[in-house]
Amino acid sequence: MKLFGIKMNKQTMVRWKIYVDRARMYINYINFAMIAFVFLNSIKDSSLRNILDENKFITYPVIIILFFVCSLLLGRLDTKLGVRKEEMRNASSENPVMMEILKTIKEIKANTEAGKNALNP
């Protein structure tokens, strides 16, 4: 099957999905900037609004730096607690391909140990 002159097969679709997933990560940064901009512009308190309007070149960079620092802290906390690692382990245990690979590795390990035991009585 061809689409716009590009041969479409399973590998092409998987490759495109990976590209979209990677791009989505970067689009989330843009999404954050837009949310921060909307949030700052939705503030109706006149005294706070005046401060923001007078100091836009300070306020917006400070918000972005604050987001970056908070992201680093959350990432560090996630790394220390191992939440992402556990999430990936659980996802892998639900994946039949990963389970087949794990089964094969265990069989190879058992055969290797059996071979060593046969050579060294």
**Residues 54-97: tens digit of each pLDDT:** 888 888 788 878 888 888 898 888 888 888 788 888 777 777 88
Pick from 63, 40, 62: which is nearest to 53 by CA? 40
Please check whether residues 87 and 76 belong to one and the same domain.
no
Please check whether residues 60 and 88 belong to one and the same domain.
no
Give me the residue label for tokens 């005294």: 47
Decide: 40 and 59 in contact? Cβ < 8 Å. yes
Which pLDDT does position 8 carry in this prediction?
72
In DSSP terms, 6 is beta-bridged to 3
3-state DSSP assignment of residue 7: strand
Please check whether residues 71 and 100 belong to one and the same domain.
no
Please check whether residues 98 and 77 belong to one and the same domain.
no
How many structural domains are present in the chain? 3
Please check whether residues 87 and 121 belong to one and the same domain.
yes
Please check whether residues 74 and 87 belong to one and the same domain.
no
In which band, very low, low, confident or very high, does the pLDDT at 1 lie, cut at 50, 70 and 90?
low
- Which position has the higher pLDDT, 116 or 30? 30
What range defines the domain where residue 75 resides?
Answer: 43-81
Please check whether residues 61 and 76 belong to one and the same domain.
yes
Please check whether residues 90 and 114 belong to one and the same domain.
yes
Dump pLDDT digits (tens) for 5-15: 667 777 878 88
Output the six-digit token pair for 35. Answer: 């949310």
- What pTM was estimated for this model as a whole? 0.49
3-state DSSP assignment of residue 27: helix
| Residues 6 or more apart in contact with residue 60 via CB below 8 angstroms | 36, 37, 40
